[in-house]
Amino acid sequence: MAHTDHLTVRRVLRREIAGTIGLLTDEQDFSAMRRYRSFTFDDHTAYLQQVEALLRSRASQGSHTSVALFDPEEYAEFCAARDLEPDISSSRARFTAELAATGPTLPYEGQPLADLLPALVDEAVRQATWEYATTLLSRLGACASCGEDIGRAAFTRASGLLVRILDTARPGNRHLVCSVSGAPETLVSVLHADEDEDGTTHLDDAEALEFTTVLALGLATRSPGGLVMRTTSPNTTDCVYGWRLRGDGLEPLTAGEVFDAYCTDVESGDLISPESGVDYCVPPDLGDLEPPQRGGHHH
């Protein structure tokens, strides 16, 4: 009787344990892991099917599971740094636990793996973009003229611009894209701002932080770039407008410039037919958002 009670308690406790699965999302990463003899999977499609079955099984038992991206190169570096044998499952489990604490993860909520995978990749890209932009901002240091931290000042200005952009947008759901050109690559950040029936705007905090950081980097470094807003609301045409980054501010694009940007293929330069039900517009006036000047200098 006591033994049965112990088993029952353990089954209950099992449901209290949250788990994380490190997932190999593409064939290349999967092939890289096959060099380890203890990694016994030999077919990526079958591997994904088994992962999905495991996720469904844990969910049916009331267990919470998060999914993280398993990167073979990062795994090898992790093992080398901690003097772990990489060709054993316990090392992979330790690396996955590290991902759960520090890396991008998404909860499994019963969605198909085909939907979860791209969302997980997007989350990883978002976090990497934010970390990279944050590092570049922090390296800018203090202004030689006034001593103000350039990155912090730019972030404050970008935050003010974002608030003003959302405040002046027409009602509806907003989709913003900010791109900043630079070496070695262009940074792109996306922000969704959905509005409910009472006019309250809902932002994802992580998205908003990344978006503001990328915009701040463009402003601080005076890099070429742009910001485009698309608003969508029921029974009306979508409205698209935008700005180019100019100095440490934003310069409105004309309706024609927005049209050209949306109706030109980025790769080939060929014209693309405009979408139906979309108006290409001039952005609203953001008002006087010039930063305070110190001795004739501003960031």
What's residue 12's pLDDT? 57
Give the pLDDT confidence of 143-152 residue by residue, as tens digits: 777 778 888 9
| Dihedral sign of CA atoms 283, 289, 293, 298 in order | negative
pTM of this prediction exceeds 0.85: no
pLDDT of residue 8 exceeding 70: no
Please state whether 259 falls in left (phi above 0), alpha (psi between -120 and 50) or beta.
Answer: alpha
* Helical spans, DSSP H, in 103-179: 113-138, 150-168
How does residue 297 score in pLDDT terms, banded at 50, 70 and 90?
A: very low
The residue type of 98 is: E
3 state SS for 175-231: EEEEEECCCCCCEEEEEEEEECCCCCEEECHHHHHHHHHHHHHHHHHCCCEEEEEEE
What's residue 17's pLDDT? 58
Looking at the chain, how many residues does it have? Answer: 299
Helix (H, G, I), strand (E, B) or coil at 21: strand
- Give the max Cα distance, the chain: 84
Mean pLDDT score of the chain, rounded to an integer?
Answer: 85
pLDDT of residue 278 exceeding 60: yes
Give the pLDDT confidence of 191-216 residue by residue, as tens digits: 999 877 777 788 888 899 999 999 99
